[in-house]
Every structure is written in structure tokens, then in C-alpha cells.
Amino acid sequence: MRLRSWFLFPAWIWLAALFAAPFAIVMAYSFLTRGVYGGIEAPWTAESYQRLADPLYFAIVVRSFAIALAATAICLVLAFPAALFIARAPRHKNLYLQLVMLPFWTSFLVRTYAWIFLLRDTGLINTALQAIGLIHHPLPLLYNDGAVLLGLVYAYLPFMVLPIFATLERLDPSLAEAAADLGARPLSTLFRVIIPLSKPGIVAGCVLVFIPCLGAYLTPDLLGGGRTVMIGNLVQNQFTTARDWPFGSAISIVLMLLVVAGLWAFLRRESEPLV
Amino acid sequence: MKRWLAAYAAAFFAFLHLPLLTLAVFSFNSSRFTVWQHFSLDWYRAMFHDPQILEGTRNSVIIALLATAISTIVGTLCAYGLWKRGSRMLTGALYLSLVTPEIVTGISLLALFQWAFRWLGWQLGIFTVVLAHVAFSIAFVVIVVSARLRTISPTLEEAAMDLGANEWQAFWHVTLPALIPGIVAAALLALTVSFDDYVITSMVAGVDSQTLPMVIYAMARRGASPVINAISALITVFFGILILVSEKVREA
């Protein structure tokens, strides 16, 4: 057992120096005051947290929630039939799963850039639509909330497919057959038998998509244009342009609390540990 | 219903793959506009003559190799230690580090470095980027290695120790060899997440440590350019090969 202590020693250093310490500093900053030149000064105050109630910032929090929820819902609707198809495929299941994962393994930045390439005014979609004469001026596809939503759905879709596939795969096929024998049409079997039984996978998928979407930074930054679209952009903005570290820290702490709440809800259901 | 499902699946896979495919196809277009002219390798040539891209790639490779080496060692030892006996606190911290939004990790590491440097007189640079990458990739390593450890029976080490091996020998000669595929897969995953990271890196990088994703980001911000298509295609192929290798190793 001595060996175990030695082996865990570097991990404890990681926990103290690179996990707990930065978090503690941000926590402390969030209760301090912004200096005249952007530094951090006394006195201790909860003012930064109160500022989050300001309608301007609160609107960004609400919009982040709305975008993350919408992305989760769209992912669910898009992923469920795909997961069902893979789970019922008589062969090539692994190939299909790898096809789902493949874009996920390529660079996140590249996947986001792909949508700039497709959606911008001189991008592929606008160029093609103009070439066939359907439109005469480029459609404003990029740099709006819709583009951000599309980017998030594209980025996190695999997170929804995999857990739903995992529960559908374990589902006893005789249950659907029994429903059919008892006269249920395919659609009513789907909605009254299969979907209720795949709830664990649906819940897991929703949490796995919702958590990263809520804290997203790069997607809204690149596809949303210069505006502050989501909480992540607000945090970044406070630490760079605005140089208001106490306020940026307070937003980070609130964002962390929201994420932890989501994780806690997930772990309460998930019995199988990762570590 | 079956036919509908198959048709839907085809559309679904097209949605997943067409954006990246068209991106790659247009990297071979001779025009800088999104209208196909004819095949050309000009953008690849331009890429290899761009000093920023070359420097970014060099920095990214150095950072990814260093961060991977450190996080693979620390993460493997940690996974083994937790396999022997769990620690709720360590496991909880690893989970938390996985779900922390990247931007929060980025700003909190920046706050830590700035705070520490007030006394040390250091500056942000390759060193801080490596530390930051180690910070977020350890959890990935622990999860992959732990998955492999769960397939190994603890009775093997007990048998070795009954036969006179000490703790270290049991680890080195019995468990470690069986873990190698998991460790290699974990290292490749750490390499991928390190090489790909933009958000955290951009917060803690200095002027001398611009990485490839930072260069790509700056170019994408200025507007699209076929050079980015070319880099994207190369990165995608590079990652694809890494993942294929890691899958093969994990299956072994």
C-alpha cells in the first residue's frame, strides 16, 4: 500500500497546484474590487455578484440557457433516429459508430471553421444558391444566434448518439415484438415502449450536450460575430478587453456552480463510474 | 419505417461529414473564392511558406509532446493508485476538471500564473502553456487507463506477491505490461486534446508561444482563406491517423 501513496503523490500535487489553487484564486478575486487600471484591490465585497442581476448581463445568462437548451433539444431529435438505426442495423454497427465519432475526433477549431466556410456571404451555400439563381443577394447565414446554435449542435451531436445507442442496444427486442403482437402500430410502439425505456440514455445524452453548450466559448465567438452571445464570451471579455477580473471571476464561479449542478444531477442517475 | 430510418441515417451521416469533406475538397481549388476552378496545390505550398504557421506548428508539437509525456505519467500512476484504493476527493476533482468549461479553466490558470509570477518574475510562455495542458489532460489519461485497469484482475498481483514479488515488482512485471495498450491510447488522446486546444492556450500563451490553433483562429477571425482549408485537411488526416492507431492499440 506504500506504493499507492507514492503513485498518487503527483496527482495530489496536480489537484492542489493546478486545480484547487486556481479555483481558490478566482473565488477570492470574485469578492474583491476592480482597481483603476484593471488590477485587483480591497475592499472585499459581493458587488460583482450583484452586478449579474443587471438586466444587461442577466439577459446573456438567459440567452446562454436558451441556446444550450435549444441545442440539446435539437441534438436529441436528430440523434434518436440515428441511434435507433445503428442499434437495429443487422451488421456494420461498429463502422456506423465510428462514422459518428469521426468528426468528433478532428479538431474542434476545424469543425467550427467549416461552418464559417459554408455559411459566410461568399461561402459555399450562398455561392451555390446565387449560381442557380434562387437568391440574388447573399443570405445573412453567419454571425447570428442561429449559426451559433448550428455550430453547437454539430459539435456535440456525437455526445447524444452514443448514450442513446447504448441503452437501445441493451433493450430486449421482444418488448417491441410484444407491443406489435398486442396490436400497437410501429409509431405507437416507438413512443409508448421504446422511447420511455431508453430514458436513461436520453438523460445522459442531454446532460452531456447541455453542460458543454452552457459553457461554450469558441463556437459563439467564431460563429456569433463580435457580439457577446453567451456566458463564456462574457467571462473572456471581462478578462481581456474590459479588464474587470473580479466581475469575470464572479461569472466564472456562477457558471461553475451551474455546471456542477448539472453534473450532480447526472451522477445521481449514472451508476457506472468512469474512474 | 425501416426504409425511412435508413434514409434518415444517410442524411444524418451526410450532415456530419459533408462540411469537413467540402472543406477539404476546396483546399485543392486554384481560386481563392468558393467557386471551383481547377485542381491546384497552391494553398498547401503557401502554407509551408507561411512563417507564422511554421512557428505555430513547431510550438504546438513541442507543447503537445511535453504535456503528453507529463500527463501520461502522472495520469497512469494516478489511475493505478485509485485502482488499488479509491479516493473520492481525487476522483471528484478529476470529474470536475473534465466538466469545467474551457474558458473557466483558462482564466483561472491565467489568474494563478499572474499571481505566482508577481513573486517569481516569470512571464507567460511555452512553459505556462505546457502546465495548462497538463492540467486539463490528466483526467483524460486517468479515465482511459482506468478503463483498461478494470479488465485486469487484482488476483494476478496477489499471486505475484505470494510468489515473493514486492509491491513494485508486482506493478512493474505484472500489471504494467498488461496496461501498455491503455497507456498508449491515453497518450494519443492527450496528444490530440493538447494539439487541438485553443481556448485555454490562448489565455495562458505568451508572445513566443503562439500555437497552431491560435494561428488558425487569427486567420479565421480575419475571414476565410483557402490556406485554412489546407491546414484543416492536413490536421484532420493527422488526427484520423492518430485515432486509427489508438483504436488498433486499444483492441490489442
Which pLDDT does position B190 carry in this prediction? 93
Size of interface A-B (CB pairs under 8 A): 244
**pLDDT confidence of residue B133:** 96
Identify whether the C-beta of residue A106 lies closer than 8 Å to the C-beta of residue B240.
Answer: yes
**How many of the other CB atoms lie within 10 Å of CB of A65?**
16
| Nearest CB neighbour to B13, from listed A4, A99, A105 | A99
Residue A80: domain span = 53-227
Looking at the predicted structure, is the pLDDT value of residue A44 above 90?
A: no
- What is the residue-averaged pLDDT of chain A? 87
Q: Do B213 and B196 meet the contact criterion of CB atoms below 8 Å apart?
A: yes
Q: What is the pLDDT of residue A164?
A: 94
Residues of chain A numbered 197-256 and touching chain B (CB < 8 Å) = 211-212, 214-218, 222, 232, 235-236, 239, 245, 248-249, 252, 255-256
Q: Look at residue A29 and tell me if it is in a domain.
A: no
Residues with Cβ < 8 Å from A103, sequence gap 6 or more? A111, A154, A158, B16, B17, B20
Over the stretch B137-155, which tens digit does the pLDDT of each residue have? 999 999 999 999 999 888 9
Q: Which residue has better confidence, B180 or A106?
A: B180
For B180, list phi and psi in degrees, rounded to 5: -50, -50
Q: Please give the C-alpha separations between residue B173 and each of B121, B142, B146, B168, B177, in angstroms, as whole numbers.
A: 45, 21, 18, 8, 7
Number of domain units in chain A:
1
- Residue extents of the structural domains in chain B: 1-40, 51-251
- pLDDT tens track for B17-38: 999 888 888 888 877 777 777 8
The pLDDT score that the predictor gives to residue B91 is 92
Q: How many other C-beta atoms can be found within 10 angstroms of the C-beta atom of residue A254?
A: 17
Please tell me whether residue A106 adopts helix, strand or coil conformation: coil
* DSSP H helices in chain A: 2-13, 21-30, 47-51, 55-88, 93-105, 108-119, 124-131, 145-170, 173-181, 186-189, 195-197, 199-214, 218-223, 231-239, 245-269
| Domain assignment present for A66 | yes
ipTM: 0.88
Confidence of residue A260 (pLDDT cuts 50, 70, 90): confident
Interchain CB distance below 8 Å, B216 and A113: yes
Task: Please name the helix (run of DSSP H) or strand (run of DSSP E) that holds residue A41, with its range, or none.
Answer: strand A40-41
Q: Amino acid identity, residue B56?
A: G
Alpha carbon of A12: minimum distance to chain B alpha carbons (Å): 7
Per-residue pLDDT of A125-159, as tens digits, reads 888 888 888 888 888 878 888 899 999 999 999 99
Comparing CB atoms, the residue among B6, B85, B108 nearest residue A252 is B108
- pLDDT in the model for residue A275: 47
Q: Which residues does chain B have within 8 Å of residue A118's beta carbon, measured at their own beta carbons? A: 19, 22
Burial class (CB in 10 A: 0-12, 13-18, 19+), A104: middle
Q: Which residue of B has its CA nearest to A250?
A: B104
Q: What is the CATH number of domain B51-251?
A: 1.10.3720.10
**Average pLDDT estimate for A208-233:** 89
> How far apart (Å, rounded) are the C-alpha atoms in residues B134 and B198?
14
**A209 located within any domain:** yes
Q: What is the arithmetic mean of pLDDT over A39-48?
A: 81
Torsion sign across C-alpha atoms B49, B53, B56, B60: negative
Quote the pLDDT of residue A272. Answer: 53
- Please judge whether B23 and A114 are an interchain contact, meaning their C-beta atoms are less than 8 angstroms apart: yes
CB contact under 8 A, A10 and B107: no
Tens digit of pLDDT for each residue in A165-214?
Answer: 999 988 888 888 888 888 888 888 888 888 888 888 998 899 889 999 99
Q: What is the CATH number of the domain that holds A210?
A: 1.10.3720.10
Which helix (H) or strand (E) segment holds residue B5: the answer is: helix B2-25
pLDDT value at A262 more than 80: no
Lowest mean pLDDT among A21-30, A37-46, A169-178, A228-237: A37-46
Contact (CB<8Å) A107/B168: no
Measure in Å the smallest separation between the Cα of B211 and chain A Cα atoms: 13
Residue of A143, A160, A197 whose CA lies nearest to A77 = A160
In a domain, A160, yes or no: yes
- A39 in a domain, yes or no? no
Backbone angles phi, psi at A55, to 5 degrees: -50, -35
Give yes or no for residue A273 having a pLDDT over 80.
Answer: no
Task: Please name the member of A4, A96, A127 whose beta carbon is closest to the beta carbon of B81.
Answer: A4
User: What pLDDT shows up at residue B213?
Assistant: 94
Give, as one character, the DSSP assignment of residue A190.
I
Q: How does residue A269 score in pLDDT terms, banded at 50, 70 and 90?
A: low
Each residue's pLDDT tens digit, A110-120: 899 999 888 88
**Chain B residues within an 8 Å CB radius of A84:** 5
Q: Which stretches does DSSP call E strand in chain B?
A: none
Q: Do A259 and B101 touch (CB under 8 A)?
A: yes
Kindly state whether residue A269 falls inside one of the protein's structural domains: no
Q: Which of B25, B28, B96, B104 to mutate to test the interface with A (most CBs of A within 10 A)?
A: B104
pLDDT under 50: residue ranges of chain B? none
**Cis amide leading into A196 (omega within 30):** no
| A103:B17 CB<8 A | yes
- Whether A59 maps to a domain, the answer reads yes
